[in-house]
Each structure stands twice: as C-alpha cells, then as structure tokens.
Chain A
Amino acid sequence: MTEITYRDAIRAAMMEEMDRDGNVLIMGEDIGVYEGTFRITAGMLKKYGSKRVIDTPIAEAGMAGTAVGMAMLGLRPIVEMMTMNFAIVAADQILNHAAKVRYFSGGQVDVPVVIRGPQGAGVQLSAQHSQTFESFYAHFPGLKVVAPATPADAKGLLKTSIRGRDPVIFLESAALYGMKGEVPDDADFTVPFGVSRVAREGSDVTIVSYSRMLQMSLIAAEKLSEEGIECEVIDLRTLRPLDLEPAYASVSKTHRCVVVQEQWKPFGAAAEIAASITETVFDELDAPVARVTGEDVPMPYARNLELLATPHEQHVIAAVKKVMYVNA
C-alpha cells in the first residue's frame, strides 16, 4: 500500500497496463510532448514512444472514432479527452459507433476502447467547461460508465476498464485529482465493475452517491454524526453496470435515503437511483427518496453564483433531516 494522489493513481494504472500489454496505447491532445494539461501522462511519451503515446490534433470525433477502429482490430486504445465537455462533439462516434458496433454486427467484434477525462465544476470555468456526463452516457446500452471517488478505485477501475472487452467512459473528477489515498501496490490490483461499496456505516439514513459528491457526502456525514445522526454512505463506483444491492440492503436497515449528484436534477442519475430504490424497497421507506443536485442552470462564471449552483454539505444535511422528520 502506498499513499498516492488520484492523478498519480490514474497514471500508474495506465503505465502498468501499457507495460503488461503491448496492445495498449494512449492518444489525446497535448498528452505527449506537453505531458498533459493535468499532468496525468507526464513521462509517458519518453517511456513508450510516439507510436503508443499519440499527440492528436484537436479532433475529438477523430480521436474517438479512430480509437474505435483500432479497438475493432484488436488494439486497446485509451483516449484522453482533455475535459469530458469536449467529448460532446464525439457523441456520434461514441454513441452510434462504439456503443453499437458489437450489437449490429451480431457480436463479431469487441470494442475495447477507454475514453477517459476529467469532468465537473468548481474553478470558474463557466458553462461549457463545467459539466458532468454520467447520466448522459449511462443511458446507452453498449457502454460502461465508471466514476471513481478515491485514488484506489481510480486505479483499480481504470485497470479493469483497460483490460475489459467493452467501451468504457471513465469519468474522472477534476476536483479529486489532488486527493490522496491508500492504493495497493500490486500490479494486478483491479476493482470490478458493478460492485458498489459501503464507504461509511450507519443506521439512520442511507446516502447514495459517487465521484466527487461521494467525498462531499462523507463530509456531511461527519457533521451529522456530531448531531447524533449516523449516515450510511454508499459509493456506486460504476453507473453502468449499476449495483444497487448494497443500497437496497442499507435502506432496509435505515428506511430513508438521500441520493447526491453534482449536476442538474431533471433526468439525472439520481432520478434513476431513486426510482430503482422506490421500486425495490418501497415498503421499507418511511419517506420519499430525496435528491440533492446542482441547480438547473448552465454553470455561471461568478464565484458566488457558481457556489450557489453546486451542491454543498449543507444541502445534504438538510435533505437528511427532511427524510428523518427532524427539524433542521
């Protein structure tokens, strides 16, 4: 075990997999000579050369599409999107091609491509640079969608993504890049898809979240503990496949649930999670499932407005108290 940052964990995962399998390569804008705008790929061009660490032009559709073609022919390309916001222009290549070629060919090809990049708001990057995409991609069968909340999960899940046979959208939280955590040293340490974990035990309320909001929920849980309310916090880790079994078991114990996501409420991931919980453990609920989400507006620039638009521990605390029928 070593304590490393989320960023270093991602780099380590990629390099270990590139060492392990010569078919793994990475492409992206300014990942080689520039060593990556978030320094994730620092040192990689030097080590692996330009055939395996490809600086691309600014052409996300081209990057995603050529990666699909490479994957169909047996390579394992990783595409670094400088931010996931920029991948919107590649939507056709990802949603109409990567997600579907296996199906409409009757299973004749695998598409083992990993499209990874940072997402999320918080540093005044305004509307086009502050979005999150899990609900966007998780809607589509044929894709896997991963959103790690810790350095260990970032490493383990990325390795699983690279080794897998399917297209993976690997959503990193930019705000968590500097976060430190214990990470196993074992080069074969992987974290499976579709297995949520209990990040914190408690018996009063269940909080379900993922990625950056998971960390924020843990902070809220600490604060609530001081008031005698013990939250059980579930980290989903992957949105597709989605594992809600621990959440169902938890709600059967606590009888109340709060789902926390960073972005807009309408049609977001929390809607899916809340609906599933209501459908499955209806008789256990003492209150409707509450959702804590960002405000339904494009992200504004001004710092105070940006803070207003993003969920805060206070919102989680208020939601917990509401489902407990405790006065705030």
Chain B
Amino acid sequence: MPDIIMPKMGDAMTEGKVVRWYKKSGDAVKKGEPVLEIETDKVNLDLEAEADGTLGDVVAEAGQMVEVGGVLATILGAGEKATPRRRDAAGPAGEDASAPSRRAIDKKDSIKKSTGEYGEAIDMKAPRIDRTAPASSAPAPQDDGGRKRSSPLARKMAREMGVSIEQVQGSGPGGRIVANDIKSFKPATPAQQKAKAPSLPPIQKLETKEIPLTAMRRTIAKRLAESTGPIPHFYLTADYDVTNLLALREQLNEIEGIKTSVNDFIVRATALALRHHPNVNASWGDEAMTLHGEIHIGIAVSTPEGLITPVVRNADQKSVAEISNEVRSLADKAKNRKLTPNDYQHSTFTISNLGAWGIEQFTAIINPPNVAILAIGAASAQPVVIDRQVVIRDRMKVTMSCDHRVVDGALGAEYLRTLRSYIEQPMRLVL
C-alpha cells in the first residue's frame, strides 16, 4: 500500500508541516477519507487516504516539519502487517531523520535548500573563478599612513622601474599618481627620506666558515681571470650625501679630546655594513670561499716607500673615537716604518681615501685576499634637486672594486646601499 507522503503543492515548496492527525495507528481508513491536516506556505489542507485500509505507522508527529516526498504514515492493506519503523524516521522513505523539530515554515529555508542544490549544480559544473581577484602577485606598495592614489599603469611602471611609489607626488585628480609622474620622477635625495628609515637586510651571525666552490663558481672564476688577470675586477660608484655626516663630525669634535676625521666614520660605517653582507667580508681560495668571522678594516696609507694598509681589527666593535685614535696611531707607525706584520695583515676589507688630495672619484685595486676595496673621494658642496628645488648639499663619491668571483654586481650594489644608510644617517654609527 502506498505510503502517505508530504506532497509538493506548489513549485517552490520544499517542506510542509503536519498540523494534526484525524486518525491514529490501527484505525481503519477509507479511500478519500481525510487522514491528517498539513500546512504549507500557502494553504492548509487535508490529506486523504488513496485506498481503503488501516493506518499503519504514524511516522511524523503533529507539529513536525517534513520535507516534500517524506513519509508521514503508512497505509496497510488487508492482511498486511506494520513493518516496525523507527518513530523518528520522518525523512524521505528509508532515510533517518536528522532535522530536529523546527519552527514554522520560513521562506528562508526554501532559499537555503535551493542554494544547496545550486551549490551542487555548481560543483558539478566547475569551481567558480573570481575574475575580480588580482592576477598579479606583486605586493602592494608600502602604505605610509595616508592612502596614495595611483593609476594601475603608474603602479606597474613604478614596479618595473624600481621606483618606490610612496616617494612620488601625484599630479592627477585627488593627488592620483599617474604615468607621467613616474616618468618624470627623480630618485629622492636623503633629505626626502622620511624619519622612518628604509629597512636594511638583517644582520647576520658572524662566523668563520668555508664554502666549497661549486662547479659554476670555478668556471666563472676561471673565465673572468683569463680576461682580467687573476682577480676579475669590476667597479661600482655611489654618490652619498654626507651633509649629516659632516655635521655630526663637527658636533663630536666639539667634545674635549675628540678629533675625528671623516675617514674614521667611514671605517666604522663600512665595518657595520659588512655585518649585513658576510659574502663581502670574504676571501677566495682554490677549493673554497672563506667567509670571515671577524671584520678587520684595512686602511690604505701612503708612505714614502709606497702604499701600505694597516688594519683596524674588529672595527665593527670599536667606537668612532676608538677607531680615530687607532688610525692615527697606525698612520704614525706607518710613516715611521714601525708597523708590525700583525698591524698590516689579515684585513678582511680595505678602504682607500684620496679625498684629502681632492680626488673626486677613483678606482682602487683589490688587496688580496680581500674580495673588495672601497675608494673614497673628496666630500664637496654640490647643487642637488630636492622637492623640485635646487639646494646645496655635501656629496661624496665612493667606488667599490669587487672580485667578481665572490662578489657580483647585485651583492656589491646591495652592500653600497646598506653602506649608504650608515653614511647618510650617521646616527646609526652611534648605535
């Protein structure tokens, strides 16, 4: 005998409620006789027995919500027995009910259900693609606190040109940075830098270690050496703003007993900068590159007999004042031919300063087994453009010679960029 099920009475109906039973289990029913009353979102109506028989198990209680198609009760024909069913099996025939009795029918439930079916249909079809998600994985430009408006093209150009967009002034509506602003942008001078400093690469732990040469490195080395001599040199020049450095020096020199030279600061600066780039504080060997666990800065000194480079050992751990004293003492010794081997050996990096001779810029030759040398030129007052105005700043050029076997262009450039921070923000040397 067919079960009495919750019928679909309207095209949007997904469930109905059992209001009350006119008959109970075991009662006789006739075809066409009302057996229970149901409530749908539109109407209340009686459900009739489709045939003569006996009402079997009543599966859905009064007040219970039942899905369309769900069994409400069975009708037994002559001679049929009730098959024991779980009392709460009011879901579609054969399923266990999982829905607890719920509140009165709510249109939102049908929406949820149809959303579920929609979800199924979509899963069948394909996962949705959000085409509004950005295709590029480039990080957003740095936010300096106020949102800088920029056109997509301007941002793209800034990325490609390596320009930091927060440094650019926008000429478009609402201060929007547009392509033209990027095109006509000149990299900022230090005075334009905000108080918040650009981040430096992390300081690395100093330790002596051997790095076995890879096949690639050997090959590069061999080829470079063949064309340029034993050490393949290349050169990088950077133009630093030393206005602040000179001002700081002036202030320090006002302290009794202190007489520093610009070079002293540079020694400390180069040493501190080497902590960020251990590969520059290194030596080339036949089998391995050695990264040194300590920083010893050699300083080129001119003597009547020629050039010698006394070494300030552990220059990164000495203050400018200490460096200053030590350099003076070493220079004296050098001039008087009183330097010991300990004084001039085992540098890990060398600087050479011809500023006193008014040399603006020069290239130095690497002092083996160093892999780099920094040539310092004279500091002088120069006109520069800041905020579209011409101002006078003290500028100084440095040229770094690099052993390409160990230090490539990017590494050298990174070192000079780090060094810039220490030179242009000389307060770092105090730390």
- CA separation between A282 and B152, bound complex, in Å? 6
* Bound-state Cα–Cα, A87 to B258, Å: 96
Over the window 266-302 of chain A, the binary record of Cβ atoms lying under 8 Å from chain B Cβ atoms (1 yes, 0 no) is: 0000000000000100111111000000000000000
CB distance from A18 to the nearest CB of B (A): 44
Would A283 and B171 count as touching, CB distance under 8 A?
no
* Inter-subunit contact A286/B153 (CB<8 Å): yes
B310: min CB distance to chain A, Å:
56
Complex CA gap A279/B172 in Å reads 22
Docked-complex contact A284 and B152, CB < 8 angstroms:
yes
Interface-central residue, B132, B151, B155, by most chain A CB under 10 Å: B151
Contacting residue for A279 out of B131, B136, B179, B180, CB 8 A: B131
Output the least CB separation between B163 and chain A (Å).
15
**Is A279 a contact partner of B132 (Cβ separation < 8 A)?**
yes
When C-beta atoms are compared, the residue in chain A nearest to B157 turns out to be: A286
- Most chain-A CB neighbours within 10 Å: which of B153, B171, B179? B153
Taken together as a complex, chains A and B put the C-alpha atoms of A284 and B179 apart, in Å, by: 10
Decide: A287 and B178 in contact? CB cutoff 8 A. Answer: yes
Enumerate chain B residues within 8 angstroms of A283, measured Cβ to Cβ.
136, 152-153, 155-156
Q: Is the CB–CB distance between A286 and B136 below 8 Å?
A: no
Given A279-B131, A283-B136, A287-B172, A255-B155 contact (CB < 8 Å): no
Contact in complex: A286, B179 (CB < 8 Å): yes
| Total contacting residues, chain B, CB less than 8 A | 14
Task: Find out whether the CB atom of A286 lies under 8 angstroms from the CB atom of B154.
Answer: yes
Taking the complex as formed, is A325 at the interface, i.e. its CB lies under 8 A from any CB of chain B? yes
Residue of A nearest to B154 (CB): A286
Which residue of the partner chain, among B136, B155, B156, B172, contacts A325 with CB atoms under 8 Å? B172
B:64-87 near A, CB below 8 Å:
none
Dominant SS among interface residues on chain A: loop
Chain A residues with CB under 8 A of B172: 287, 325
Whole-angstrom CA separation of A282 from B132 in the bound complex: 10
| B145-182 interface with A by 8 A CB criterion | 151-156, 171-172, 178-180
Question: Are B132 and A287 in contact, with the CB atoms below 8 A?
Answer: no
Contacting residues, chain A, for B152 (C-beta < 8 A): 282-286
Closest to B178 in A: A286
In the assembled complex, the Cα of A283 lies from the Cα of B131 at a distance in Å of 14
- The contact string, 1 if C-beta is below 8 Å from chain A, for chain B 173-206, is 0000011100000000000000000000000000
Q: Name which residue of chain B comes closest to A322, CB basis.
A: B173
What is the bound-complex CA distance between A279 and B129, given in angstroms?
Answer: 14
Residues of B near A255 (CB, < 8 A) are 153, 179
Cα distance, A282 to B138, chains bound together (Å): 14
B132, B136, B156, B172: most-surrounded residue (chain A CB, <10 A): B156
Question: Assuming the A-B contacts A325-B171, A325-B172, A325-B180, are A285 and B132 also in contact, with contact meaning beta carbons closer than 8 angstroms in the complex?
Answer: no
Q: Is the CB of A287 within 8 A of B131?
A: no
Q: List chain A residues, Cβ under 8 A from B155.
A: 283
B180 touches A285 (CB 8 A): no
Q: Is the CB of B178 within 8 A of A325?
A: yes
Give bound CA distance, A283 to B171, whole Å.
Answer: 19
Contact present for B151 and A285 (CB under 8 Å):
yes
Q: Would you give the shortest CB distance from A229 to chain B, in whole angstroms? A: 14
Point out residues on A near B: beta carbons under 8 Å. Answer: 255, 279, 282-287, 325
Further contacts, 10 of them, CB under 8 A, given A279-B131, A287-B172: A279-B132, A282-B152, A283-B136, A283-B153, A284-B152, A284-B153, A284-B156, A285-B152, A286-B153, A325-B171
In the complex, 9 of the A-B residue pairs with CB atoms within 8 angstroms, ordered by the A residue number, are A255-B153, A279-B131, A282-B152, A283-B152, A283-B155, A286-B153, A286-B178, A287-B151, A287-B172
